[in-house]
């Protein structure tokens, strides 16, 4: 048989478990702290842990969203650069397919 847990052993386990879930921050600007507390009270019923989780989830969602937009913009820019390299320097091709010479004369491509 194992040794029985004393009241102090059980209390230490509870205290250690409670410390694992704690988060302490310092040097938080007062306006940021006020905004965080307002969000916590209005949207999360004062639950600071869920408030932090909600803010981080939103941050990660926007991060992925903007990374996708950035990748799409890179592809568009690469295609535009390839198109500029292929055309002669005296012509510019517009999005509608119209080719404009530098002197302002238009050519139509069908």
Domain membership of residue 5 (yes or no) is no
Contact 79, 87 (CB under 8 A): no
Domain membership of residue 63 (yes or no) is yes
**DSSP track, 2-57:** PPPPPHHHHHHHHHHHHHHT-----S--HHHHHHHHHHHHHHSTT-HHHHHHHHHH
Domain membership of residue 16 (yes or no) is no
Q: How far is CA 90 from CA 13, 21, 85, 101, 102, in A?
A: 78, 67, 12, 6, 5
Model pTM above 0.75: no
Domain membership of residue 69 (yes or no) is yes
pLDDT of the residue at 72: 86
Domain membership of residue 3 (yes or no) is no
Task: Decide if pLDDT at 24 tops 60.
Answer: yes
Provide the residue range defining the domain that includes 44. Answer: 28-107
Which range in 43-52, 71-80, 90-99 is most confidently predicted, on average pLDDT? 43-52
pLDDT of the residue at 95: 64
**Residue 100: other Cβ atoms inside 10 A:** 14
38-57 confidence digits (pLDDT tens): 999 999 999 999 999 999 99
Q: For the chain, how many structural domains are there in total?
A: 1
Domain membership of residue 21 (yes or no) is no
């Amino acid at each position: 048989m194992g040794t029985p847990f004393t009241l102090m052993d059980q209390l230490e386990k509870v205290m250690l478990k409670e410390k694992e879930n704690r988060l302490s921050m310092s040097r938080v600007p007062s306006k940021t702290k006020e905004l965080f507390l307002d969000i916590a009270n209005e949207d999360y019923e004062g639950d600071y842990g869920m408030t932090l989780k909600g803010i981080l989830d939103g941050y990660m969602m926007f991060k992925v969203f903007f990374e996708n937009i950035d990748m799409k913009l890179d592809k568009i820019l690469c295609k535009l650069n390839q198109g500029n390299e292929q055309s002669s320097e005296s012509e510019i091709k517009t999005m509608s397919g119209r080719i404009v010479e530098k002197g302002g004369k238009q050519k139509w491509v069908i």
